[in-house]
Chains A and B, each alone.
Chain A
Amino acid sequence: MDTVFHTLHDFLLHSKNITYILVGGILVGMLLFWLFLSGRDEKKRTF
């Protein structure tokens, strides 16, 4: 992670790239965590 940045653009490009990948992972992770959390809840009939 000790990347050398010469410009602000370099820095933002790097940190934002990592952040966008992370956010994608979080979205999937939170969905899976919700399924785990509510996995044994009583199912409500919606029809």
Chain B
Amino acid sequence: MPQETAHKNKSIFTPFNVITGIIILGGLIITVLRFTGGLGAVTNLDDNNPWGVWIGFDLLVGVALAAGGYVTSAACYIFGLKRYHSAVRPAILTAFLGYALVVMALHYDVGRPWRLPYPIFLSPGTTSLLYEVALCVFLYLTVLFIEYSPAALEWLGVKRVRNLVVRLTLVLTIFGVILSTLHQSSLGALFMIAPSKLHPLWYSSYLPVFFFVSSIFAGLSMVILEGALAHRFLHDKMDETHLKESKAVALGFGKAASFVMMGYVAIKLIGIAIDNNWHYLATGWGLWFLLELLGFVALPAFIYAVAAREQNLRLVRWSSIIAVLGVVLNRLNISLIAFNWHLPSADRYFPSWMEVAISVFVVTVGIVAYRFICTRMPILYEHPDYQQH
């Protein structure tokens, strides 16, 4: 049971509120500049680099790290691992907020955002990968909203609708897995259109497979990291079941992530071998590639394995930070750093401070929304009126 908060008389000027308030205020000012002055007023984007940090970070990283939703619900409801049930709601909430913020960030990046519904409702480009991604993200965001809604309905006390939605859990989980498999891989497939622009070490005809497999351990690692953060900052909102199960969730997910990550390293090596790109490893780009693959995938995979053997919760949590950073680095490498690698440095893209500020703004909105929901709705505890589902 959550303890009643005893800080009703506390000032609203807490360090958290002040810092997030400043970031959100700054973000709103830049938002006005973006929508009155256009993309050119706030970004360093150009014809060589039409996709910048808003796509590389907000969209690609956002979608990968939101994979915890489908991974956790599949583990619990499809594979029957009910001991991870307490991790489902926080993971679904993170995924829902993650995808909602991806769509929000897309409004900044697209030249005419009011036309975003066009491909879905007016002119579907059924042969386009981007269309498939758009359709999947649109449908999956809807699925995530429905999957998340029981928590909000329990909070609002709308019992009948809540019970109806809970009956749809398995169907929604299956939809979630199908849609995620489709668009996580298609985001990688998008870059297959640019074999001459993406460095050969990152370009591969297996890019869709790489993106999908990496999304699995990104999701697992994100659930571990988010559990650790919830334990640290929202401890008083967690009930006994969540506190008791959190260790088993972290260790179990760490073990699963470890094996998937080693598999990922293996298929990345197969990607190099089949294109015979070994000689690139001896270059500067090769060292950067090896840092990503060995330092941010193989190393955390090994740490996860040791932690799972030793039942070391602390080690699992530290490893999840490295793994999440590895996924961030991978997506940034593919979309920005190793993209247009052959261009002279003067023509290379580097984000403007306002682009970075908008990305920070988007992440901050997500953290504030997560905190707002977790402090009010039954995410980290079971509502007393709805025990056992």
Seen from chain A, the residues whose Cβ lies within 8 Å of a Cβ on chain B are 1-2, 11, 14-16, 18-19, 22-23, 26, 29-30, 33-34, 36-40
B305 lies within 8 A of chain A by Cβ:
yes
Q: Nearest chain-B residue to A1 (Cβ)?
A: B278
A22 and B259 contact, CB distance less than 8 A: no
Subset of 12 A-B contacts with CB under 8 Å: A15-B273, A15-B276, A19-B273, A22-B269, A22-B273, A26-B266, A29-B262, A30-B259, A33-B259, A33-B262, A37-B305, A40-B310
B237 lies within 8 A of chain A by Cβ:
no
Q: Nearest chain-A residue to B278 (Cβ)?
A: A1
B309 and A11 contact, CB distance less than 8 A: no
Q: Nearest chain-A residue to B265 (Cβ)?
A: A26
Q: Nearest chain-B residue to A27 (Cβ)?
A: B266
**Can you list the 5 inter-chain pairs with the closest CB atoms, starting with the nearest?**
A1-B278, A19-B273, A15-B276, A26-B266, A40-B309
B266 and A2 contact, CB distance less than 8 A: no
Interface string of B251-263 (1 = CB under 8 A from A): 0000100110011
B112 lies within 8 A of chain A by Cβ:
no
Size class of the B contact interface (CB-based, 8 Å): 10 to 19
B266, B276, B279, B305: the one within 8 Å of A29 (CB):
B266
Bound CA–CA A16/B275 (angstroms): 9
B270, B274, B278: the one within 8 Å of A26 (CB):
B270
* Chain B residues, CB < 8 A from A16: 274
Q: Give the tally of cross-chain contacts (CB within 8 A).
A: 45
Q: A19-B273, A22-B270 are in contact. List 6 more A-B contacts (CB 8 A).
A: A18-B276, A22-B273, A26-B270, A33-B259, A34-B259, A37-B258
Q: Nearest chain-A residue to B256 (Cβ)?
A: A37
B61 lies within 8 A of chain A by Cβ:
no
B279 and A37 contact, CB distance less than 8 A: no
Within 8 A of A (CB), among B124-180: none
A27: min CB distance to chain B, Å = 9
B266 and A39 contact, CB distance less than 8 A: no
Majority secondary structure, A binding face: helix
A1, A26, A36: the one within 8 Å of B305 (CB):
A36
A1 and B276 contact, CB distance less than 8 A: yes
* Chain B residues, CB < 8 A from A26: 266, 269-270
* Chain B residues, CB < 8 A from A30: 259, 262-263, 266
B308 lies within 8 A of chain A by Cβ:
yes
Residue from A2, A30, A36 having most chain B Cβ neighbours under 10 A = A36
* Chain B residues, CB < 8 A from A29: 262, 266
B305 and A33 contact, CB distance less than 8 A: yes
B310: min CB distance to chain A, Å = 8
Bound CA–CA A22/B309 (angstroms): 27
Q: Nearest chain-A residue to B281 (Cβ)?
A: A1
A41: min CB distance to chain B, Å = 9
Within 8 A of A (CB), among B209-268: 255, 258-259, 262-263, 266
A24: min CB distance to chain B, Å = 11
B255 and A37 contact, CB distance less than 8 A: yes
A37 and B276 contact, CB distance less than 8 A: no
Bound CA–CA A16/B270 (angstroms): 10
A14, A23, A40: the one within 8 Å of B270 (CB):
A23
Q: Nearest chain-A residue to B280 (Cβ)?
A: A1
Bound CA–CA A25/B119 (angstroms): 46
Bound CA–CA A22/B274 (angstroms): 10
B270 and A19 contact, CB distance less than 8 A: yes
* Chain A residues, CB < 8 A from B255: 37-38
Bound CA–CA A14/B309 (angstroms): 40
Bound CA–CA A30/B269 (angstroms): 13
* Chain B residues, CB < 8 A from A18: 273, 276
A16: min CB distance to chain B, Å = 7
* Chain A residues, CB < 8 A from B263: 30
Bound CA–CA A18/B276 (angstroms): 9
Bound CA–CA A40/B306 (angstroms): 10
